[in-house]
Chain A
Amino acid sequence: GAVVSQHPSRVICKSGTSVKIECRSLDFQATTMFWYRQFPKQSLMLMATSNEGSKATYEQGVEKDKFLINHASLTLSTLTVTSAHPEDSSFYICSAKRQGARPQHFGDGTRLSIL
């Protein structure tokens, strides 16, 4: 168990477009989900923590108005990149964890390319 599905796997769009990425826990309830960003050949950088039913908390330097996070149910969190620009191009990955458990289970990421 502990499968996390992320959709879409790849997005290519024009500058100025808003893009929504979905993260679903398929076989468990995820009270907490996390959103990461990974540049080529680099490590994962935490962007924000999303708790079901409450506002997301953002890491320092991450613009909350640009990266909108919603965690409306125990199995779904969404990340919307608003008015995306080429510098937002990256690999975005979500993870989810059960309440009280430590392991985070990751989705397969979304490759976002802004032209």
Chain B
Amino acid sequence: QQQVKQSPQSLIVQKGGISIINCAYENTAFDYFPWYQQFPGKGPALLIAIRPDVSEKKEGRFTISFNKSAKQFSLHIMDSQPGDSATYFCAASSNDYKLSFGAGTTVTVRA
């Protein structure tokens, strides 16, 4: 049973466009929400993370938006580049540090 629901399963975006991935959770004990990027045959790499006391966090072309009341958070990839083509996972954890991952979104950026 997935504690974090992620959508869409896949998306295709043109170079320079915006990729948007959404996640939702139910467990109100979650207090840390990271996003990971994974290339085929590699381990996930931490992109950006947010805590529930902040509604938005931006690092370079990556922005997390967080809606605590709706228990939803999303990743926006601005000015998408072919090198951004990868699988993206949202995750959440509480104070036991165990990460619950979403199902993943495969992003394809067309040149």
Which chain B residues numbered 27 to 77 have a C-beta less than 8 Å away from chain A?
32, 34, 36, 41-46, 49
Residue contacts A-B, CB under 8 angstroms, 14 given: A43-B103, A46-B98, A46-B100, A49-B97, A49-B98, A97-B97, A102-B32, A102-B93, A103-B46, A104-B46, A106-B43, A108-B43, A109-B42, A111-B41
Asked if A25 lies at the interface with its beta carbon under 8 angstroms from chain B, I say: no
Q: Which of B2, B42, B43, B97 has the most CB of A within 10 A?
A: B43
6 new A-B contacts at CB < 8 Å, known A44-B101, A102-B32, A106-B36: A43-B102, A44-B44, A44-B89, A49-B97, A102-B34, A106-B43
Contact A102 B49 (CB under 8 A): yes
Contact B42 A108 (CB under 8 A): yes
Asked if A84 lies at the interface with its beta carbon under 8 angstroms from chain B, I say: no
Asked if B78 lies at the interface with its beta carbon under 8 angstroms from chain A, I say: no
Asked if A79 lies at the interface with its beta carbon under 8 angstroms from chain B, I say: no
User: When chains A and B are docked, how far (Å) is the Cα of A32 from the Cα of B41?
Assistant: 24
- Chain A residues with CB under 8 Å of chain B are 4, 6, 32, 34, 42-46, 49, 93, 95, 97, 102-109, 111
Q: Which of A4, A106, A111 has the most CB of B within 10 A?
A: A106
Asked if B86 lies at the interface with its beta carbon under 8 angstroms from chain A, I say: no
Contact A109 B101 (CB under 8 A): no
User: When chains A and B are docked, how far (Å) is the Cα of A53 from the Cα of B74?
Assistant: 38
- Chain B residues with CB under 8 Å of chain A are 2, 32, 34, 36, 41-46, 49, 89, 93, 97-104
A-B contact count (CB 8 A): 54
Classify the interface of chain A: helix, strand, loop or mixed.
strand
Minimum-distance CB pairs A-B, first 6? A106-B43, A43-B101, A108-B43, A102-B32, A109-B43, A44-B101
User: When chains A and B are docked, how far (Å) is the Cα of A49 from the Cα of B100?
Assistant: 13
User: When chains A and B are docked, how far (Å) is the Cα of A46 from the Cα of B34?
Assistant: 16
Min CB gap B28→A, angstroms:
17
Contact A109 B102 (CB under 8 A): no
Residues of chain A with a CB closer than 8 A to B49's CB: 102-103
Q: Which residue of B lies closest to A44 (CB)?
A: B101
